[in-house]
């Protein structure tokens, strides 16, 4: 075990164990306080909520409470490690909600792999929360779970592995295109990876103007083509082409988007790309190709990774706390595409308005204090304009 691993275990083990705890928000120092906090006083807001469910937002923590939910089937780059082993990640997500947007979050690790049963469990729990953040649920089940919950529940349900990644990738790409003088409609994209995050990123690129016929996607078996038998999610990205491999597809490409694993991209591949390539190697913790190796053969490349020790970290925490803050504040019952696009553009604009903006700073820093005040109003405005804001 190396020093960092030892430090990580010590950090989590320091008393009290874990990273989150409950905090009492009202005085409970006297008998009178207790009478108000519990019996008999608690019956009064109960009856008010019975008569008007919206009163729960006034008399309980529901309006500022998000559930971070997983079944542990696709945790980070660790894979299917189970619900219990996913708990440190979900606690960490709760910390980020509180740190960046002052949202209280409860982590729920549900030991259920059947998608139908998982939907029923989450739906039954929903009255407790103002929003639900799905996390680390494997594809393709995650697509159906999120869709069904969004259709069924009156609160926002957001699968961050998909949409959070897509939003930050979209913001970074907009700025990379601006820096290299490209238009979204003109570029050719090669994507390595065909899981939940990749599918959402590609849909976001199309929303931003990239032409679907200019997007080539590879999974572990090669290029998605009309000659292969594919799932419905992958079939959308199948190209009618004689090409079969990433190495063939990447010739002349403007953008490489990696959401797969280490070693997928080679220096030879990079050398076959267009001048000033845009290379997002987002596999974590080890990218598809290390930035220093990209630089050896493409010194003018714009590079992003998922790591904090390189410039341009594509980190979901740049968006999900602020999306939920905005949705909770304006009473949005869903986080729709208009809100996601508003988030993309707000993050991109924030980076452009920084003195550091350039090839090494195409997205804001995670601790940029302007994020809350910039992103939230833009998302709220989009929610109102699109008719999903109820407050």
How confident is the model over 12-65, as pLDDT tens digits? 999 999 998 889 999 999 999 999 999 999 999 999 999 999 999 999 999 999
Q: What is the pLDDT of residue 161?
A: 87
| Residues acting as catalytic residues | 38, 93
- Determine if residue 161 is labeled as part of a ligand binding site: yes
The single residue listed with the structure tokens 């008399």 is 59
Is 240 annotated as contributing to ligand binding?
Answer: no
Q: Are 281 and 288 in contact (CB under 8 A)?
A: yes
What is residue 211's predicted lDDT score, i.e. its pLDDT? 97
Q: Give alpha helix (H) positions in 140-208.
A: 141-152, 160-180, 196-207
How far apart (Å, rounded) are the C-alpha atoms in residues 388 and 200?
Answer: 21
| pLDDT score recorded for residue 136 | 93
Spatial contact of 99 and 164, defined as CB atoms under 8 Å apart: no
pLDDT score at 391: 84
**Phi-psi region for residue 80, left (φ > 0), alpha (ψ -120 to 50) or beta?**
beta
Contact 391, 329 (CB under 8 A): yes
| C-alpha–C-alpha distance, residues 262 and 259, integer Å | 10
pLDDT for 237 equals 95
Domains 3-155 and 160-391 alike in fold = yes
pLDDT lower than 50: segments of the chain: none
Q: Please report, for the chain, the start and end positions of each structural domain, with discontinuous segments joined by +.
A: 3-155, 160-391
- For 65-119, the pLDDT digits (tens) are 999 999 999 988 788 999 999 999 999 999 999 999 999 999 999 999 999 999 9
CA-CA-CA-CA dihedral for 53, 332, 165, 90, to nearest 10: -20
284 is known to lie in a ligand binding site: yes
* Cα–Cα dist 238/223, whole Å: 8
Q: Is 275 annotated as a binding residue?
A: no
The strand pair at 222-223 and 302-305 is best described as unpaired
Contact between 291 and 310 under an 8 Å Cβ cutoff? The reply is yes
**Topology of 160-391 in CATH?**
Rossmann fold (3.40.50)
CB 164 within 8 A of CB 320: yes
Question: Cα(21)–Cα(12) distance, rounded to whole angstroms?
Answer: 13
Domain boundaries 3-155, corresponding CATH code: 3.40.50.10380
Contact 293, 263 (CB under 8 A): no
Using CA atoms, how far residue 210 sits from 163, 164, 252, 381, 382, in Å, is 17, 19, 16, 25, 22
User: Residue 22: what pLDDT?
Assistant: 87
Output the pLDDT for position 77.
75
């Amino acid at each position: 075990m190396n020093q960092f691993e030892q430090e990580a275990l010590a950090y989590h083990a320091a008393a009290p164990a874990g990273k989150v705890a409950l905090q009492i928000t009202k005085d409970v120092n006297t008998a009178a306080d207790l009478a108000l906090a519990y019996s008999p006083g608690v019956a009064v807001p109960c009856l008010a909520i019975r008569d008007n469910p919206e009163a729960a937002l006034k008399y309980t923590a529901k309006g500022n409470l998000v559930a971070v939910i997983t079944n542990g089937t696709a945790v980070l780059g660790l894979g299917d490690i189970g619900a219990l082993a996913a708990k440190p990640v979900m606690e960490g997500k709760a910390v980020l909600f509180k740190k960046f947007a002052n949202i209280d979050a409860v982590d729920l690790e549900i030991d259920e792999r059947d998608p139908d049963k998982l939907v029923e469990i989450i739906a039954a729990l929903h009255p407790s929360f103002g929003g639900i953040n799905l996390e680390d649920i494997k594809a393709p089940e995650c697509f159906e779970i999120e869709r069904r919950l969004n259709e069924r529940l009156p609160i926002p349900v957001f699968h961050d592995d998909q949409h959070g990644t897509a939003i930050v990738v979209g913001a970074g790409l907009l700025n990379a295109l601006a820096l290299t003088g490209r238009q979204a409609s003109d570029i050719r994209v090669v994507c390595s990876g065909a899981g939940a995050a990749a599918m959402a990123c590609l849909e976001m690129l199309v929303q931003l103007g990239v032409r679907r016929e200019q997007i080539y996607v590879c999974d572990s078996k090669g290029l998605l083509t009309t000659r292969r038998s594919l799932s419905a999610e992958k079939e959308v990205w199948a190209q009618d082409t004689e090409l079969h491999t990433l190495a063939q597809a990447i010739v002349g490409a403007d953008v490489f988007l990696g959401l797969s694993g280490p070693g997928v991209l080679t220096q030879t591949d990079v050398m076959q790309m267009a001048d000033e390539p845009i290379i997002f190697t987002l596999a974590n913790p080890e990218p598809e190709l290390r930035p220093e190796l990209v630089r050896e053969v493409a010194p003018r490349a714009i590079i992003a990774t998922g790591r904090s020790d390189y410039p341009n970290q594509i980190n979901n925490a740049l968006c999900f706390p602020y999306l939920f803050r905005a949705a909770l504040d304006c009473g949005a019952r869903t986080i729709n595409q208009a809100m996601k696009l508003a988030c993309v553009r707000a993050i991109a604009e924030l980076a452009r308005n920084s003195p550091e903006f350039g090839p090494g700073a195409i997205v804001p820093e995670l601790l940029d204090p302007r994020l809350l005040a910039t992103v939230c109003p833009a998302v709220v405005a989009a929610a109102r304009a699109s008719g999903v804001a109820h407050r």
